[in-house]
A and B are shown apart, each in its own frame.
Chain A
Amino acid sequence: MISGNSQSPPKTAERIISLFAQYHNRPYILGDLEEDFLRKSYSKGVIYARLWYWIMCLKILPGFMKINILWSLVMFRNYLIIAVRNFKKNKLYSLINVLGLSIAFGCCILVFSFIRSEITYDRFHENAEDIFEIYARVFLTEDEIFTGTQHALGPVLTEQFPEILSAARVSSANYIVKYEDKIFTERFICTEPAFFDIFTFPLREGDAGRPVEDINSVIVNRHTAEKYFGDNEALGKTLLIQLNSEFKAFTVTGVLEDIPDNSSIKPQLIINLKNKYGENLDSWKGWSGPAVLVRLDNKDTVKDLQAKFPSTIDKHLSERGVSEKSGYILSPLLDYHFDGIWSTILIGKSKGLYSYVLAGIAALILIIAIFNFVNLSLGGSSTRSTEIGMRKVFGAQRKQLVRQFWFETVFQSFVAFVGGIIFAVIILPSFNLMAQKTLEFGYLLNWQYIFGFLMLVMFVGIAAGSYPSLVLSGFSTAELFKKVLRFSGKNSFSRVCIVFQFTISIFFIISTLIIYNQYDFLLDSKFGIDSDQVVILDLQSSSGEQGRNTIIFNELKNGLMQHSSVLGVTAANSKYDMFSGRFLKDDKDEMLLVKINWIDYDYLGFFGINFIEGRDFSRDHVSDVKNAVIVNKTFIDRFNIESPVGTKLSDLFDNIKSDEEIVGVVDDFHSSSLHENIAPAYLKISGSMGIDYIYIKMKGDDIQSTLNIIKSKFAETAPNMPFFYSFMDEEISQNYENEKRHGTMFSYLAIFALFISSSGLFGLTSLTVARRIKEIGIRKVLGASIPGIIRMINIEFMILVVIGSVLAWPLTYYMAEKWLRNFAYKINISPVPFLIASIAALIIAVITISIQSGKAALADPVKTLRNE
């Protein structure tokens, strides 16, 4: 920083002083300093002089800053008054501007909230980085891998490895819970006390001690406590929980603090897992043990720890006779949310892509809003020229004018930000619905975030205000008073931006229409089965209870079939869309996934499924229960079976050793949503596999009373079971929730984009009109008609919208086509939405433009041409 020749003071210091010193004294101060500097350098040497100069510089600065601040405060008060006054004067412009910016800020807040939630997923645990899940990656043969755990895997870990501080086995289960007259099925986390050493789930009530150590204790979350106990104290109450067909009493020993939304594990009720597994906990057999979570002393020891496994615990794998390549793997908790390794207990995977896309959209919206702001400011500024002129007369420098406009735009920015907050709060519920999250804004009330937001607001204000302020302050005083405001150039840039905005808007509109079309299509199309007026009873049992369910089913069926309003009753093990799967090995040695369901004798007849060959299951054939198999058309096509009826499965597939034999072939029907192609499937009699779902077909009239009959009959046959029913067609439509959400989201986006584009157009037209007001005046004088002028201006801008439209079509077509590829069954893209969207956009554009063009055409040429 030592610069300049030896006879002149340090330049950097000079510059700093120049920056802060008041305008009118600056040259004198600098002159004095230089004189003094020279004196010192003669008497005490250059180096001393330079040092002295720097010290003087630093001593002077605070004084200057104080003066600057004092004056700034005075000016700001004035600017504020003017800013508010201007706001009121141009209510329309200001409002549109602020509204557009508010929406942009609101979106930013929402997106920020979302991203924050994603980025900090699972990080609220105290030792989040040290938490790992351990599982076995097992190679059955060279290529067949699956992952699993063994029940006994937990305690061994803390015993054998000092690096592992705690280990807990965690599993989930559904059990029926009863308290007084409330009876519901709840989702449980079954785990060990060490769970609370690993995860940070504090209790709001109850002794943190060793939760769930007592087998008969249960921890609940606040929501559950309110559900069962209302406002009463939950601690100490007794809940009856049904395990293995018996209700056992559990005491509530704790209530959990509310769990943040961004957690991969969200316990509602917690009990000790001995309740679920009993003695199985010590077994090394089987692969479907509970998930095992551990906490390491230090995450850096992971690699070394993992290296220890082959020589130690891996023996539990080799004992089972699996390939040596198998081993236990440690996988970090924090990797789960995005990179999604397999887990039986963690839920809710997401993609980093979503965050990027949302951030991109928010940034885009902000940029567009800023751009519109610029246009609108310039467009509305002709009314201010007198004020600016006066300021210049009274000695305002350009710098001060620029600062004033910056102040105004920053002020508007802040007002918009407040609007944005309101907007975000209102939109939050819908946003949560769409993003499938439960975001709250509480997490944003943190100094860093608030500071960051304020900086953003200021930055937006300054960015948006830069161009107008520089332009407006650049006019000469004479020009200002004559109201001759020539805004030079930059026309093409604005037009390009408008085209871009309309392209995006039209894209959103078309997309919305297409999405809704597809959604309607999915709902309407035949599912392949007759699902009208069908009620599904969900028997929701824990394992081992299907046998009991069969008894209930038979009783219920007998009871209900006596009523004329009940047309049919049947049952199945899996739901129509959630079949189990099984791997079958074909002749080319490939393992293929085939879907299986175990059904009642009357199931196929109940749903009206057609047979292509062979026969249905029949009680007359006793062997049907064990050996009869009915397959669907895809099955025989897929496996190239020529004469299916009578073929034994063991002949077709190497890994089947049973006597199962195909007795019939049915038409394809959907076993999952229309998103997927139909998979090969086979059906067997439910027999020992038991059933979980009862289907009841009702007559169309008076559904409510039929439902009541069903309900009371059910209460008779299964007194202790909750009555869970749903309508099949409602359930089916829920499969398409995703599409519905997308549709809603796009429709919102379309509205926003259209609003923003329109306001952009409004600004641009007002700018252009202001610029060409004289030309229009002359035209009028020369005889142009008012409609003629309106038409002239309108056409100029409608072209922009048309171009935007034309650009939007191929873009939307391409994206829509890509999206529809996700569906096995989809609509054809028709030109109708494209046309509707473009016409709608044009209409809105015409209205917007006409406001300005009408005003221009009606202006009195006498006035506009007066100042020539």
Chain B
Amino acid sequence: MKDLSKAEEVFLIAIWRLKDNAYGVSVRDKIEDLTGKTYTYGTLYGILDQLVNRGYAVKKEGEPTSERGGRRKLFYRLTKDGLAALKNSFAMQRALWNGISNDTLEDGYII
């Protein structure tokens, strides 16, 4: 299984965290909360489309609301493959960072 790229990982986690409410605005806000990065809407959808193409997520249209000038929201949900990729990523992270804390990071530091 191919590893997730950093951006893909970030996005998938955001989608997972948002559960049923993962759409443009919410995903963007969530990512900003979590990582501090801001994505413009154009790039955002670009990456989201990529995730869909790779089978990690699916799209579904929501109901139109007046807040959006009568336009619909587009919701993203994780697929099984997406979930599996996240689990993989999580496992790898765990293995890599097992036992390391912020303090211990500096201990092992040699110039």
Contacts and interface: CB of A to CB of B under 8 A. Distances in A.
**Is chain B a partner of chain A in the same complex?**
yes
Interface in B1-52: 23-25, 28, 40-43, 45-46, 49
B72 interface: yes
Contacts of A399: none
A92 interface: no
Contact of A25 (B23, B49, B69, B73): B49
A24 to B, nearest CB: 9
B67 A34 contact: yes
Contact of B45 (A8, A29, A35, A36): A29
Contacts of A35: 25, 67-68
B46 to A, nearest CB: 7
A28 B42 contact: no
A713 B3 CA distance: 107
The residue among B23, B40, B49, B72 with the most chain A CB atoms within 10 A of its own CB is B40
A28 B24 contact: yes
A31 interface: yes
Given A28-B24, A28-B45, A35-B25, A59 B40 contact: yes
B69 A32 contact: no
A64 interface: yes
Contacts of A60: 40-42
A103 B46 CA distance: 48
Interface string A25-49: 1011111111110100000000000
A59 B44 CA distance: 12
Given A25-B49, A28-B24, A28-B74, A34 B42 contact: no
B80 interface: no
A787 interface: no
Interface residues of B, number: 18
A33 B41 contact: yes
Contacts of A27: 71-72
A32 B69 CA distance: 10
Contacts of A28: 23-24, 45, 71-74
B43 A32 contact: no
A32 B42 contact: no
B24 A29 contact: yes
Contacts of B41: 29, 32-33, 56, 60
Contacts of A21: 42
A605 interface: no
Contacts of A31: 24, 68-69, 71-73
A414 to B, nearest CB: 33
A283 B35 CA distance: 96
A28 B28 CA distance: 13
Contacts of B40: 56, 59-60, 63
Contacts of B74: 25, 28
A420 B54 CA distance: 51
A771 B25 CA distance: 55
From DSSP, what is the main secondary structure of chain B's interface residues? helix
A59 B28 CA distance: 15
Contact of A32 (B24, B46, B49): B24
Contacts of B28: 32
Nearest to B68: A31
A33 B40 CA distance: 10
Interface string B57-82: 00000000001110111100000000
A36 B39 CA distance: 13
A59 B40 CA distance: 7
Interface in A308-344: none
A64 B42 CA distance: 7
From DSSP, what is the main secondary structure of chain A's interface residues? helix
B67 A38 contact: yes
B38 to A, nearest CB: 9
A22 to B, nearest CB: 8
A34 B69 contact: yes
Nearest to B27: A32
Chain A, interface residues (CB within 8 Å), range:
20 to 34
Given A32-B25, A56-B40, A25 B68 contact: no
B25 A36 contact: yes
A28 B45 CA distance: 9
B80 to A, nearest CB: 24
A36 B67 CA distance: 9
A25 B67 contact: no
Contacts of A56: 40-41
A206 to B, nearest CB: 66
Contacts of A32: 23-25, 28, 41, 68, 73
A60 B43 CA distance: 8
A36 B24 CA distance: 10
Nearest to B64: A31
Given A28-B24, A60-B41, A63-B40, A34 B46 contact: no
B43 A63 contact: yes
The residue among A8, A29, A31, A67 with the most chain B CB atoms within 10 A of its own CB is A31
A26 to B, nearest CB: 9
A650 to B, nearest CB: 101
A140 B40 CA distance: 86
A28 B65 CA distance: 12
Contacts of A25: 45, 49, 74
Contacts of A63: 40, 42-43, 46
A65 B87 CA distance: 36
A56 B71 CA distance: 19
A35 B70 CA distance: 11
Contacts of A33: 41
A402 to B, nearest CB: 25
The residue among B23, B42, B46, B71 with the most chain A CB atoms within 10 A of its own CB is B42
Contacts of B46: 63, 67
Nearest to B59: A28
A58 to B, nearest CB: 10
Given A25-B45, A29-B41, A60-B40, A8 B23 contact: no
Interface string A204-240: 0000000000000000000000000000000000000
A148 B43 CA distance: 79
A33 B67 CA distance: 10
A98 to B, nearest CB: 41
A32 B28 CA distance: 10
A8 B42 contact: no
A64 B44 CA distance: 12
A709 B43 CA distance: 96
Interface in A562-597: none
Given A35-B25, A36-B25, A56-B40, A30 B45 contact: no
A28 B46 CA distance: 12
A27 B40 CA distance: 15
A67 B45 CA distance: 12
B17 to A, nearest CB: 18
A555 B23 CA distance: 114
The residue among A28, A29, A35, A59 with the most chain B CB atoms within 10 A of its own CB is A28
Contacts of B49: 25
A354 B46 CA distance: 59
Contacts of A67: 46
A733 to B, nearest CB: 76
Contacts of B73: 28, 31-32
Interface string A56-81: 10011001100100000000000000
Nearest to B49: A25
Contacts of A30: 68-69, 71
B25 A8 contact: no
Contacts of B24: 28-29, 31-32
13 contacts: A28-B45, A28-B71, A28-B72, A31-B24, A31-B69, A32-B28, A34-B71, A35-B68, A36-B25, A60-B40, A60-B41, A63-B40, A63-B42
Question: What 4 A-B pairs have minimum CB-CB distances, sorted nearest first?
Answer: A31-B71, A32-B24, A31-B68, A63-B42
Interface of A: 8, 21, 25, 27-36, 38, 56, 59-60, 63-64, 67
Given A28-B24, A35-B67, A63-B43, 11 more contacts: A28-B71, A28-B72, A28-B74, A29-B45, A31-B71, A32-B24, A34-B67, A34-B71, A59-B42, A60-B42, A63-B40
